[in-house]
Amino acid sequence: MCPDPPDNSANGLLLCDNMHRRRRNGPVLRRIDVRKGLLSEQLCVGYTQPYTASLVFFTCESLSLEATTQTLLAPHFIHVDYQFLRLMMNNYFVGGTGGSGGPGYGNGLGGSGGDAMGASLNCDIQVRDGNFIMNNAIQQDERGIYILHGAVAAAAVHDSAESYPQPRCHPETRAKMLKYLHHWALDKNIQHNILWLYGPAGAGKSAIIQTLVRQIVDSGRLGGSFFFKRDHPTRGNGRMLFATIAYQLALHVPWLRAQISEIVERDPSIVRRAIETQMQRLISEPCRSHPNRDRLTILIDGLDECEGHGIQEEILRVIRTGGSQFTIPLRFIVASRPEPHIREMFDSAFYSGIYRSLNVEQSFADVRKYLRDEFSRIHREHRTMAKIPFPWPMPQVLGELVEKSSGHFIYASTIIKFIDDKNYRPTERLAVVQDPNSPGSGTAFDTLD
């Protein structure tokens, strides 16, 4: 019996007929690699029987941008069931597949709710007089998507592998703010297309944006996301912002995919142009053709962590110029610290009257709920806490910690991480947090430095 083909992976696809086979040493199989735009023929060791073909192994590390026809002499391939082979190949090379663990790239598996990524490859396989013939070509409307993929900061997308574990709002916290933001993103009657969410470091902006992204994904209205990170080679690069957003729009929005792909295919150098040009040609122009569509939301977190004040201001100018028109079915949410140059841009006449702002205010009540729930969990899960009376800690101690946090989640989450260590007793770690003069108290707050 033929074994089941393995899952799609970088190792390729295993195809075979139902013939019995035995192990043979030596180069008896053809291996076809699609790499760097070329089809190459290699011999490899495999399982087969004399005079019959039982295995054909394909790998695909990158797809060719040009239609390719390759005829491979295959003297051992005589009884190949090429109808089965063709069916399997057609099923295999159709973009990526959404699944568990993040969006799929190329021919990979994606995450829960993720979008398939990668161009589709049409295959036609024939066997004639012992010759194995494979014809393949990337679909015409997919070539631009493939080119655009090379300019994407994949790590900056909300569900990238690098972003895990993701900061999320604790259940039942920030409820009013999230409700307002979700309503603003979806309401058709709101006239402003840009919202600035600002607050100091540790106020919980990233957790709010991550939580909001999931809500908008569930509503089917996400256009794209970008999470900046200071000193990161791609997440800190503002020049990659709009190409990454355009790529996500092409993936998420069927009515934009063909237009964006065609624009990139006509001018592949667009991925290296100025961000203003990318915004205009890859995002604004395609969207302008669909003024009556439901509005999509683009979320940009941590603008202040982008490389340099100059590019930060340029991004805000580009968003103002290309994204503020009501005829474009897009809305932008930009989250950042209220740095002077960013506030000055939003307060300028250039932005006057076309945006809304929302301050991530201190929230003592939300911090109190977070600490109470987390301490309850620690009391329940740590084996050393079995004889400690509940509630723990006492309400007075909890209140002191809430006051020390000044309503900022970063303080609360930092002390919980310090106390929730399986190698120590939580009661002892809490005592260290309470006494700033005790040995090791500085360690509890190292991440805040």
Q: Domain with 226 in it: what CATH number?
A: 3.40.50.300
Average pLDDT over residues 262-267: 95
Same domain, 217 and 320: yes
Within-domain flag for 33: yes
pLDDT of the residue at 107: 47
Percent of the chain residues past pLDDT 90, beyond the cut: 36
Secondary element (H or E) of residue 417: helix 409-419
pLDDT of the residue at 404: 84
What's the pLDDT tens digit per position in 423-449? 899 999 999 888 877 665 555 655 544
Within-domain flag for 248: yes
pLDDT-based confidence at 326, cuts 50/70/90?
Answer: low
What is the Cα–Cα distance from 379 to 401, expressed in whole angstroms? 17
Look at the block and give the residue holding tokens 């707050």: 445
Same domain, 302 and 319: yes
How many angstroms separate the Cα of 25 from the Cα of each of 44, 72, 73?
10, 21, 20
Same domain, 320 and 223: yes
- Which range has the worst mean pLDDT, 18-22, 175-179, 262-266? 18-22
The type of residue at 85 is: L
Give the three-state DSSP class for 127: strand
Within-domain flag for 3: no
Is the per-residue pLDDT at 37 higher than 50? no
What's the pLDDT tens digit per position in 2-29? 444 444 333 333 333 333 333 333 333 3
Residue 285 phi/psi, 5° resolution? -65, -50
What's the pLDDT tens digit per position in 281-311? 999 999 988 877 888 999 999 999 999 999 9
Average pLDDT over residues 325-339: 87
Higher pLDDT, residue 202 or 65: 202
pLDDT of the residue at 290: 86
Higher pLDDT, residue 249 or 109: 249
Same domain, 343 and 400: no
Same domain, 253 and 133: no
What's the pLDDT tens digit per position in 378-417? 999 998 998 899 989 998 888 888 888 877 778 888 898 8
Within-domain flag for 347: yes
Same domain, 201 and 321: yes
Do residues 245 and 251 make contact, with C-beta atoms less than 8 angstroms apart? no
- Domain hosting 417: range is 364-448
Look at the block and give the residue holding tokens 């307002």: 180
Last residue of a domain, one of 359, 381, 402: 359
Burial zone of 158 (CB within 10 Å; 0-12 exposed, 13-18 middle, 19+ buried) = buried
Give the three-state DSSP class for 349: coil
Last residue of a domain, one of 359, 386, 403: 359
Same domain, 26 and 121: yes
Looking at the DSSP bridge assignments, the partners of residue 137 are 122
Higher pLDDT, residue 87 or 106: 106
Same domain, 87 and 111: yes
Same domain, 352 and 376: no
Average pLDDT over residues 331-341: 94
Same domain, 160 and 294: yes
What DSSP designation does 130 have?
T
Look at the block and give the residue holding tokens 């109190």: 368
Same domain, 166 and 19: no
Within-domain flag for 411: yes
Within-domain flag for 8: no
Within-domain flag for 185: yes
Last residue of a domain, one of 297, 325, 359: 359
Length of the chain: 449
Within-domain flag for 149: no
Same domain, 299 and 393: no
Q: How many domains does the chain have?
A: 3
